[in-house]
Amino acid sequence: MFRRGVSVARRVVAPRLRGTHVWIQPQPLYTQWIKPRSAIRLTEPARRYTTHSSLYLRTHTDLPPQLSTMDAPYPVPGSDGFVTLSFYSFFSLQSIQTTRSHLQAQWEALGIVGRVYVSNEGINAQLSVPFAKIIDLREWLEHSTVFRGRISRFNWALEHSQAFKALHVRVRPLVAAGVEVGLDVLANEPEYVEPKDWGKELDTPDALVLDMRNTYEYRVGRFDNAVCPDVDTFREELDQVRTMCLTRPRDAPILMYCTGGIRCSVAGAVLRGDGLTNVKTLRGGVIAYGQHVRKTQETQESRFRGKNFTFDKRRGEVVTSEILAKCDQCGSECDTFVNCAHTSCNLLFIQCPGCAEKHKKTCGRELCVERAQLSHEERVKQKLPPQWSHRERVRPELVFRDGVAHNPLDN
Ligand SMILES: [Zn+2]
Ligand SMILES: [Zn+2]
């Protein structure tokens, strides 16, 4: 069936139809499927959409069939050929172990890397996919008896690259350990606000704007006036937000956001279950808002400032160039998160280029500076047990004194 889709052609070379064929100059992205100046056979209704400047079509065999569907427009891949994306869906998933091993084996075979959680409540996936395999992934999802119709569209990243080393599919609660919310609760979905309408919502008088991420994510980028509970885990954050909201009138406006939307889908449902009636969340989270900002940069000012932290090698995507945070070691303006180069330490903190040089890309502990110089093999051999508590890991700003991380284990 014909569906109006993406513009695949930069130019229709000879727009005069020859029978059912037309010559086109494809967009650079589609040259792997369409040769320059190739003839494309059009379906009858597609001809009506053919113009000099663009060609909207779904053809018989000339194009991958899914190209014109829900994931358009397709992003431009990173220089390494990868595209980074995420998606999640809540539904009753049986036989999770079998699903886990299928995903692991079959997505790995497509060259996909990333982090995927499956549970009885559905799936949460963050992936880097070779550009040429996106269609295969979409087809895989649509042909799978488990996932068919579950993933309405991909949430594209702002910056594309291979953001993960390997593929890890795990059976785990979708959002955070200790927060196991059943499908009956999740069915109480909050109202989803499209990124283009979010700015208007932020101007609602008396709106409580909640940042449902960790405090370290909030440090490098946030919406103005957003409140991020001062706690260490998502469980505590949820408890505090519930307490906070229940002191207000039941219909008082609540606006929540997070990285890609899933934490708010959960938190929003919990609040609705508490009887709060005016709970709205940003669809697709800051990632989708960032896409919106990119598209409309000239006409509209971003209400999100700084960087959107991401849980992968990139450790964040720039939404606006403002720098909101400070180097944990010297206090200079900086929003670059790094992991201590001593792999057994691995502390995640903000480090400026000057401190990276001074402390040899480490957190400054003597042990770390010494061990960071060892070869990879030596470091693996001398692997240490976990060096930091959960609290220290999510609050790196609290462990630094005079530019050096203080670890109780060092005394
Ligand atoms: Zn510094
Ligand atoms: Zn360290």
Ligand nearest to the CA of 333: 1
Q: Is 309 among the domain residues?
A: no
Domain boundary among 171, 200, 224: 171
Using the mean position of ligand 2's atoms as its centre, give its distance from the Cα of residue 377 in Å.
18
Residues 192 and 283 in one domain: yes
Q: Is 242 among the domain residues?
A: yes
Of the candidates 387, 236, 259, 388, the residue with the CA atom closest to the CA atom of residue 311: 259
> How high is the pLDDT of residue 381?
85
Using the mean position of ligand 1's atoms as its centre, give its distance from the Cα of residue 401 in Å.
12
- Average pLDDT on 291-298 reads 82
Q: Which amino acids are annotated catalytic? A: 258
Using the mean position of ligand 1's atoms as its centre, give its distance from the Cα of residue 328 in Å.
7
Whole-number mean pLDDT of the chain? 84
Q: What is the pLDDT of residues 183-218, one digit of tens each?
A: 988 999 999 999 999 999 999 999 999 999 999 999
* Nearest-angstrom CA–CA distance, 394 and 217: 9
* Nearest-angstrom CA–CA distance, 312 and 333: 23
- Average pLDDT on 319-324 reads 93
Of the candidates 355, 155, 315, 285, the residue with the CA atom closest to the CA atom of residue 220: 315
Domain count for the chain: 4
CATH number of residue 274's parent domain: 3.40.250.10
* Nearest-angstrom CA–CA distance, 179 and 149: 26
Q: Is 296 among the domain residues?
A: no
Using the mean position of ligand 2's atoms as its centre, give its distance from the Cα of residue 163 in Å.
22
Q: Which range is least confidently modeled, 80-94, 109-123, 202-216, 379-393?
A: 379-393
Q: Is 295 among the domain residues?
A: no
- Average pLDDT on 229-252 reads 94
Which of 47-51, 254-258, 298-302 has the highest average model confidence (pLDDT)?
254-258
Of the candidates 357, 358, 338, the residue with the CA atom closest to the CA atom of residue 349: 338
- Average pLDDT on 222-235 reads 94
Domain boundary among 115, 141, 171: 171
Considering only residues 71 and 408, tell me which one the structure prediction assigns the higher pLDDT. 408
Residues 139 and 198 in one domain: no
Indicate the pLDDT class of residue 22, thresholds 50, 70 and 90: low
Residues 166 and 88 in one domain: yes
Strands 113-119 and 167-171: parallel
152: containing domain:
82-171
Q: Is 302 among the domain residues?
A: no
Using the mean position of ligand 2's atoms as its centre, give its distance from the Cα of residue 233 in Å.
22
DSSP, collapsed to helix, strand or coil, labels residue 189 as coil
Using the mean position of ligand 2's atoms as its centre, give its distance from the Cα of residue 131 in Å.
36
CATH number of residue 143's parent domain: 3.30.70.100
| Long-range CB contacts (within 8 A, 24+) of 355-360 | 355/327, 355/329, 355/330, 355/403, 358/329, 358/403, 359/329, 359/403, 359/404
Considering only residues 33 and 82, tell me which one the structure prediction assigns the higher pLDDT. 82
Using the mean position of ligand 1's atoms as its centre, give its distance from the Cα of residue 22 in Å.
59
DSSP, collapsed to helix, strand or coil, labels residue 273 as helix
Q: What is the pLDDT of residues 56-70, one digit of tens each?
A: 343 333 334 444 346
* Nearest-angstrom CA–CA distance, 248 and 208: 10
Ligand nearest to the CA of 328: 1
Q: Give helix 134-143 / helix 96-109 axis angle, nearest 10°.
A: 150
Ligand nearest to the CA of 404: 2
Ligand nearest to the CA of 405: 2
Q: Give helix 262-273 / helix 234-246 axis angle, nearest 10°.
A: 40
Q: Is 265 among the domain residues?
A: yes
Q: Is 319 among the domain residues?
A: no
Is the pLDDT assigned to residue 236 strictly greater than 50? yes
Q: Is 114 among the domain residues?
A: yes
Residues 89 and 144 in one domain: yes
Domain boundary among 38, 68, 98: 68
Q: What is the pLDDT of residues 347-361, one digit of tens each?
A: 999 999 999 999 999
DSSP, collapsed to helix, strand or coil, labels residue 30 as helix
> How high is the pLDDT of residue 382?
83
Considering only residues 156 and 131, tell me which one the structure prediction assigns the higher pLDDT. 156
